[in-house]
């Protein structure tokens, strides 16, 4: 089964589940009983939808993956899984995801289907292969797991809390992805993917990484003004924000050297902190 789990990009799916759980805990009304069953069904639905979507993405990009050294050992380009097997596997997981989401609510299901359509069609098929700025609209499906968890718990599709965390997740993704794209820009060139570093050069990439990182951190630190968290949140969030800035400046000094990995990892870790800490803060009087 290992080769099939490689199709699902399990490491990213775990991150998706963490953010969806944060959304569920932040969105859950205190005047309603907390249902472990409902939370479990929600996370199962999101797990199967995201896993199926990533597997479908690998099916869609199997020819591109053959050209890129970083992806040549994936199940499809290496021949360990056939295209037919991958397609059946991905569609089966997507169907399971829809079934679990429907058991929670129609709104959760529609959000999930929108996310899959946006990622696998608009981003993968239309924008990723034609625009160096595809990562910008491509960040929308990446921000949806929190929204889905929040909607599942609250029944609310859109309010200021949901929109705020959506924006935090949205702005986090561009510097995170562009750091990776800068590290593997030669691979992307071989694959014919016009990522920002390959299409616009190093200076433009540094500029946009800096702009989006500062916006992301400013949003994250403004939480006490927007969402129901205490000022103690800042005592935890500030050190992580400064660490991300530290890694950003180290990365900008040597964008093609080793500092990229520190910046890449700390941006990832920080966004989990900016989501999980508000969830813990909100529930702490009841724990």
pLDDT tens column, 195-221: 998 888 889 999 999 999 999 999 999
pLDDT class of 152 with cuts at 50, 70, 90: very high
Other CB atoms within 10 A of residue 29 CB: 11
DSSP 228-240: S--THHHHHHHHH
Q: What is the pTM of this model?
A: 0.93
Q: What is the pLDDT of residues 256-284, one digit of tens each?
A: 888 889 999 999 999 999 998 998 887 77
The whole-angstrom separation of Cα 119 and Cα 53 is 8
pLDDT class of 5 with cuts at 50, 70, 90: confident
Task: Give, in degrees to the nearest 5, the angle at Cα 185 between 139 and 56.
Answer: 50
pLDDT class of 285 with cuts at 50, 70, 90: low
pLDDT class of 287 with cuts at 50, 70, 90: very low
The closest of 147, 40, 49, 143 to 99, measured between CA atoms, is 49
Residue 286 has pLDDT above 60, yes or no: no
């Amino acid at each position: 089964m290992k080769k099939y789990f490689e199709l699902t990009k399990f490491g990213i799916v775990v991150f998706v589940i963490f953010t969806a759980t944060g959304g569920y805990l932040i969105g859950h009304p205190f005047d309603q009983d907390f249902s472990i069953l409902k939370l479990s069904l929600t996370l199962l639905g999101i797990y199967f939808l995201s896993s199926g979507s990533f597997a479908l993405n690998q099916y869609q990009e199997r020819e591109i993956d053959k050209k890129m050294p970083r992806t040549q050992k994936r199940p499809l380009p290496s021949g360990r899984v056939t295209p037919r097997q991958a397609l059946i596997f991905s569609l089966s997981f997507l169907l399971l995801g829809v079934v679990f989401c429907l058991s929670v609510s129609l709104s959760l299901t529609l959000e999930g289907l929108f996310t899959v359509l946006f990622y696998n069609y608009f981003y993968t098929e239309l924008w990723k292969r034609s625009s160096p700025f595809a990562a910008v609209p491509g960040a929308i499906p990446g921000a949806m797991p929190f929204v889905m968890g929040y909607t599942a718990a609250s029944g609310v599709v859109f309010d200021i809390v949901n929109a705020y965390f959506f924006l935090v997740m949205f702005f986090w993704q561009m510097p995170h992805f562009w750091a990776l794209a800068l590290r593997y820009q030669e691979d992307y060139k071989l694959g014919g993917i016009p990522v920002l570093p390959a299409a616009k050069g190093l200076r433009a990439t540094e500029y946009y990484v800096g702009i989006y990182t500062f916006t992301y951190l400013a949003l994250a630190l403004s939480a006490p003004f927007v969402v129901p968290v205490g000022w103690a949140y800042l005592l935890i969030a500030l050190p992580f924000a400064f660490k991300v800035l530290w890694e950003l400046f180290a990365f900008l000094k040597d964008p093609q050297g080793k500092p990229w990995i520190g910046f890449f990892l700390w941006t990832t870790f920080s966004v989990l902190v900016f989501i999980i800490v508000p969830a813990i803060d909100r529930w702490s009087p009841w724990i």
